[in-house]
Amino acid sequence: MTGDRRKFSRQNEDQRRAALIAAAVELISDGGPGAATVRAIAARAGVTPGLIRHYFATKEALTRAAYTQVMGGMIEASLAVVAKAPQHPEARLAVFVTSSLRPPVVDPQAMGLWAGFLHQMRRDTEMRAAHEASYLHYRDLLQGLISALPREADAARLRADAIACNAVIDGLWLEGSALPETFEPGELERIGLRSVAAILGVDLVAAMPDEGASA
């Protein structure tokens, strides 16, 4: 019985923490970090303002957790798709690129959250560190996929290629999230595949399983 109560309590704790993070994400993506006041977050999550301090020492700690969760969720979404891809280096990279340029990764809310934190990163060293960790995690994953390609490239070239390909994907992600109605279905993925392929000197279009084969 005691074990059951502890498990139930732990689940409630996790649910409340998740609700606070979700409330912060919604407020920041809609109105920027300034809109995510302690009172507004509490009201959106349906809790008292004092309860927030039980889970997060400061409002900044909560907003950093929100940022980290959203960015991490986008990376995990791409990795989940790659895990189901054929075990060929070109196909795995192609799937990683295209999954980064379509929903749920391309998402106006995620873009709003990212944009809302740009100014905060300049004065908040912990937020900058959270952003750096997210950026480097994605870039390292991309570099790992690039390094598996059947081509000659030393460590410096792999790093430069990963930075360049990441920049292409980031730019397309930003525009696709900000102005989704501007692009035709599949257009971002096709541009991303061709651009990354041009940087790396490989054919990712032909390597893309199923739908991407005719991109």
29 and 112 Cβ atoms separated by less than 8 Å: yes
Structural domains of the chain sorted by starting position, each given as residue range(s) with its CATH number in brackets: 1-56 (1.10.10), 64-209 (1.10.357.10)
pLDDT digits (tens, 9 = 90+) for 3-14: 444 443 344 888
Q: Kindly state the tokens that stand for 105.
A: 């990764």
* Residue, of 112 and 46, whose pLDDT is higher: 46
Give pTM, 2 decimals: 0.82
Output 196-202 pairs: Cβ under 8 A, ≥24 positions apart.
196/93, 196/97, 196/165, 196/168, 196/169, 199/161, 199/164, 199/165, 199/168, 200/146, 200/149, 200/151, 200/161, 200/165, 201/151, 202/90, 202/149, 202/151
DSSP 14: H
**116 contacts 29 by C-beta, under 8 angstroms:** yes
* 81-99 pLDDT per residue, tens: 888 889 899 999 999 999 9
Q: How confident is the model at residue 71 (pLDDT cuts 50, 70, 90)?
A: confident
Single out the residue of 200, 192, 199, 30 nearest to residue 95, CA to CA: 192
Q: What span, in angstroms and rounded, lies between the C-alpha atoms of 60 and 141? A: 28
Query: What are 134-176's pLDDT values in tens digits?
Result: 999 999 999 999 999 999 999 999 999 999 999 999 999 999 9
Distance CA 168, CA 151 (A): 21
